[in-house]
């Protein structure tokens, strides 16, 4: 055992469970690639001010959870706690919005970092797949992203998730609601920190998970009652598009999400089999974020889906993904000449697209076959001096136990036929 362990609140992804994480990432990315979204990758750390401005200085993410540090050169940086601000920064820096083809549609996958209290489904290092549609104000974009996330989850076999939907209004109607909510919150018996938060960003109080706070919020004014006509019409069209696509959702007037940049459409995917950490993903529209970080007006919408929590949701539903075999063929040489010949055949099989492994380390037949079993290989190739003298290898079907000789020059074609 090593002297060192993974830092508290983090985890290592190791085979065979890591294959499930890869499959989840691929399932989420597949409908995005099929819908015009191009891949983007950003640094694991950014200027700390990017997140202070974009995510919001009053949010728990910035005030309590962000890993911030100063470099030897005096730069103030932070490990990225979320993806949207970084992706928008990258798009602006590359002037993608000036190419004349709006919206700019991007998807990404990576690790994110928050100083959380570690618990199941809530880590200090976590993995997400996200998507952003930058530069267009269109209800169809909001609906598209929700539909694509719904497709991704269903392609994995998930069924017991719910989509929560709300509108947070815009710069015209939200200030009116904000004032009404602040007046209401000032009348409650709240602790000092919560009252301070209510003065800075009262909508964040609606997201408070404490039972005693939620009880007092039962009669709080709700954003849908304060939406202007433009926001009502926008939200109505999003809902109609989802209805037409057969996507089932629930209206949640208290849904605000954890970031300050959201406007109008907000949504969350929740799975009731995960306990308190029920959100598996979510997102919304962020029409003012570009200006917040020094860019032009670029109304945008996006989401991020948690890979870790999606895996937990699959476990909660008892869904076993049909994962492709990492090894289809395992080669077992018996002797130095067989080692040379079979290693060459392994290379040929790999070039032909057949997942093939080799018995390294000079193990005997018994030990090599144990490794073949552990690898999950469908077939094994075994060859000794007598086999090579006859120009053959022994091909064994690990499922049926059948075994027979195959000519050396027919190994690739034979396995291609058997594996389809």
Mean per-residue pLDDT, 19-42: 97
What is the structure's pLDDT at 58?
60
Residue 53 labeled ligand binder: no
Answer yes or no: is 46 a known binding residue: no
Rg of the chain on CA atoms, in Å: 27
- Please give the Cα distance from 361 to 345 (Å, whole number): 18
The mean pLDDT of the chain is 92
pLDDT of residue 201: 81
Kindly report, residue by residue over 382-415, the tens digit of the pLDDT.
Answer: 999 999 999 999 999 999 999 999 999 999 999 9
Residue 128 annotated as part of some ligand binding site: yes
Please report the pLDDT score of residue 258 as a whole number: 61
3-state secondary structure of 73: coil
Question: Which two three-digit tokens encode residue 273?
Answer: 């089999």
Encode pLDDT of 325-364 as tens digits: 789 999 999 999 999 999 999 999 999 999 999 999 878 8
Mean pLDDT, residues 35-46 taken together: 97
- pLDDT average, residue stretch 70-82: 94
What gap in Å lies between CA 298 and CA 292, rounded to an integer? 11
42 annotated to a ligand binding site: no
Q: Is the peptide bond before 16 cis (omega within 30 degrees of 0)?
A: yes
Show the domains of the chain with their CATH numbers.
Answer: 18-173+227-317 (3.30.930.10), 329-419 (3.40.50.800)
66: left (phi over 0), alpha (psi -120 to 50) or beta: beta
Report the distance separating Cα 257 and Cα 211, nearest Å: 18
Q: pLDDT-based confidence at 95, cuts 50/70/90? A: very high
pLDDT for 325: 78
Distances in Å between the alpha carbon of 325 and those of 18, 83, 87, 152, 419?
13, 32, 34, 22, 11
Find out whether 132 is annotated in a ligand binding site: yes
Note the pLDDT of residue 303.
97
* Residue 308: per-residue pLDDT: 93
Give the angle 251-252-255 at the CA atoms, nearest 5°.
140
């Amino acid at each position: 055992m090593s002297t060192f362990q993974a830092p508290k609140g983090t985890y290592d992804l190791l085979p065979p469970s890591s294959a499930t994480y890869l499959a989840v990432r691929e399932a989420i990315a597949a409908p995005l690639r099929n819908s015009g979204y191009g891949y983007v990758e950003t640094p694991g750390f950014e200027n700390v001010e990017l997140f202070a401005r974009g995510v919001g200085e009053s949010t728990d993410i910035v005030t309590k959870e962000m890993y911030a540090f100063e470099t030897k050169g005096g730069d103030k940086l932070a490990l990225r706690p979320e993806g949207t601000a970084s992706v928008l920064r990258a798009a602006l820096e590359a002037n993608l919005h000036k190419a004349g083809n709006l919206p700019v549609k991007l998807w990404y996958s990576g690790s994110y970092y928050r100083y959380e209290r570690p618990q199941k489904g809530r880590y200090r290092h976590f993995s997400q797949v996200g998507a952003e549609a930058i530069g267009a104000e269109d209800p169809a974009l909001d609906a598209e992203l929700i539909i694509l996330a719904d497709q991704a989850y269903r392609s994995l076999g998930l069924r017991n998730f719910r989509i929560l939907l709300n509108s947070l209004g815009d710069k015209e109607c939200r200030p009116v609601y904000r004032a009404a909510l602040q007046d209401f919150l000032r009348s409650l018996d709240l602790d000092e920190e919560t009252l301070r938060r209510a003065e800075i960003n009262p909508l964040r109080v609606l997201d408070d998970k404490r039972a005693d706070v939620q009880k007092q919020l039962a009669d709080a004014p709700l954003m849908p009652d304060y939406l202007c006509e433009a926001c009502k019409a926008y939200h109505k069209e999003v809902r109609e598009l989802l209805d037409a696509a057969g996507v089932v959702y629930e209206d949640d007037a208290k849904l605000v999400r954890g970031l300050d940049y959201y406007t109008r459409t907000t949504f969350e995917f929740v799975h009731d089999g995960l306990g308190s950490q029920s959100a598996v993903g979510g997102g919304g529209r962020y029409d003012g974020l570009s200006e917040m970080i020094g860019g032009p007006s670029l109304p945008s919408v996006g989401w991020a889906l948690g890979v870790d929590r999606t895996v937990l949701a699959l476990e909660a539903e008892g869904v076993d993904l049909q994962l492709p075999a990492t090894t289809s063929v395992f080669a077992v040489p018996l002797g130095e000449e067989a080692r040379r010949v079979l290693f060459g055949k392994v290379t040929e099989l790999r070039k032909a697209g057949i997942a093939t492994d080799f018995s390294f380390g000079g193990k005997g037949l018994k030990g090599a076959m144990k490794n073949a079993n552990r690898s999950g290989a469908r077939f094994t190739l075994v060859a000794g001096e007598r086999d090579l003298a006859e120009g053959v290898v022994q091909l064994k079907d690990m499922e049926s136990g059948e075994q027979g000789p195959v000519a050396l020059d027919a190994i690739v074609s034979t396995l291609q036929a058997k594996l389809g």
